[in-house]
Amino acid sequence: MNLPQPGHSGYSLEEWETWDGRWELIGGVAYDMTPSPSYEHQEVSASLLSSLYRALKAHRADCRDGHCQVLAAPVDVFLPSGVFIPDLVIVCDPEKITPRGIEGAPDLVLEILSPSTAGKDHSTRRRRYESAGIPEYLIVDPDERIGLLLRLNYGRYQEAARVEWGSVVALLDGRLPVTLG
């Protein structure tokens, strides 16, 4: 069994490809993606996946000629700074979806906070998603029952919306209304 040392830096994509289990590689640092998320996390993820899927079907014409797809973890997203496993992604360029995962920046990444990942989601992931040019980053906090939508503006994330549970957030540059929660 080939396993990296969590938190060790300097790993390469070639090394990542040999590891057993689910691992992220962010800036050369290995992050173990086990154990699986909590029941509450999975429940929120399933609800958001369903809402995003329904919204994309209802608004196909508004979302890049109907090519947008929503995908749920585990799906590997390959960015210049490493390999990420976001909770949910929307990809509107079908050529970015390959047999090994998503190659390049999705149109939206959604992370659901949990106690073990909140710090990484607000700092490391945010910086890496921003530098990769991901247009929108939605951070959902199930404990506070809010979502924070960050939108890329001149290469930097700006707060576009802070949305309470049950309210509508306009994703994909305002073209996709989705109820949060």
- Cα first-last separation, the chain: 39
pLDDT of res. 62: 61
Q: What's this model's pTM, rounded to 2 decimal places?
A: 0.89
Q: How far is CA 31 from the centre of its chain?
A: 15
Q: pLDDT value at position 41?
A: 83
Picking from 135, 180, 177, 179, the residue whose alpha carbon sits closest to that of residue 156 is 135
Residue 87 confidence (pLDDT) above 80: yes
Topology at the third CATH level for domain 35-179: tt1808, chain A (3.90.1570)
Question: Does pLDDT of 77 surpass 90?
Answer: yes
Give the start-to-end residue ranges of the domains of the chain: 1-34, 35-179
Question: For residue 37, what pLDDT is reported?
Answer: 77
Looking at residues 48-64, what average pLDDT do you find? 83
Count of beta carbons in the 10 Å neighbourhood of residue 6: 10
Q: What is the pLDDT of residue 67?
A: 84
pLDDT band at 65; cut points 50, 70, 90:
low
Which of these ranges, 29-43, 69-83, 97-111, 151-165, has the smallest mean pLDDT? 29-43
